[in-house]
Amino acid sequence: MEEGFYQKLREQWTRSLGHSNGVLFAKAYATACALRGQLQEALSAVQQTLSVPEALFQGDYARVQRDQLLLLIPLLKRALGEDASEDWIVLVRQSHDASLHQMALGALLEGVQPEQAERLRLLLEQLLGDEHLVGVRDQLYWMQTQLALLEGRKLKAQEIAEALLGRYPGSRFAAGAYWVLAPVMLLRDTPGYRQAGDYLSKMARTH
């Protein structure tokens, strides 16, 4: 990228800070920085742009643009090798896009360690009561099953998986719920071989 064009983008972004068109220039400038390998500068630009009053992001188009900036923060932090868990949480809480909710929740569960499970479990319990996340409640239930298994709470995982299937039988996480239930049946004091087989058959039919 030519230096002159890069500097022009930087000037446009700087002048636009605090204005409604700041998001567009921030995205362009952050992209230019990333292409030059200046990830920290890209992250700083996005964070500065999002620090302005939220009133500047009124309207559907402005909210979409803001959501895209919110997504850039954890992506840039991950590229920098930094912990982005708090930023994924911000994206879940503040975004208006269900697809971004799904992505952020998936990122939160990815690579979670046993010592982190309790904190994430408490967060998921809070998020289940959030009305703007109604479109991903089945995913929240499925995540709870994974955390319960990580913590060695097999009966709790069974309870949540059954609740997921009862409330969201057509969910894309139904197969995952059956996959949770089948081994739990086998690990009981008296193994439920037939029930495990039934769950595996149902799992196969959901694909």
Range list of H helices, the chain: 3-16, 22-35, 39-50, 60-79, 85-94, 98-109, 117-127, 137-150, 154-167, 174-186, 193-206
Tokens of 159: 């309870």
Q: What is the mean pLDDT of the chain?
A: 89
Residue 162 and residue 145: Cα distance in Å, rounded? Answer: 10
Given this model, what pLDDT does residue 207 score?
A: 64
Q: Which residue has the tokens 């409640």?
A: 137
| Residue 193 zone, left/alpha/beta (φ > 0; ψ -120 to 50; rest) | alpha
Per-residue pLDDT of the chain (207 residues; tens, 9 = 90+): 678 888 998 999 898 887 777 788 888 999 999 999 999 999 999 999 888 776 667 777 778 888 999 999 999 999 999 999 999 999 999 998 999 999 999 999 997 888 888 899 999 999 999 988 999 999 999 999 999 999 989 999 999 999 999 999 899 999 999 999 998 888 876 778 888 899 889 898 886
**Distance, CA of 41 to CA of 35 (rounded, Å):** 11
Number of Cβ within 10 Å of residue 154's Cβ equals 16
Spatial separation of the C-alpha atoms in residues 155 and 176, rounded to whole Å: 16
Q: H/E element holding 63? A: helix 60-79
Whole-number Å distance between alpha carbons of 183 and 206:
18
| pTM for this predicted structure | 0.84
- Return the DSSP state at 113: -
Backbone angles phi, psi at 151, to 5 degrees: -85, 0
pLDDT digits (tens, 9 = 90+) for 157-194: 999 999 999 999 899 999 999 999 998 888 876 778 88
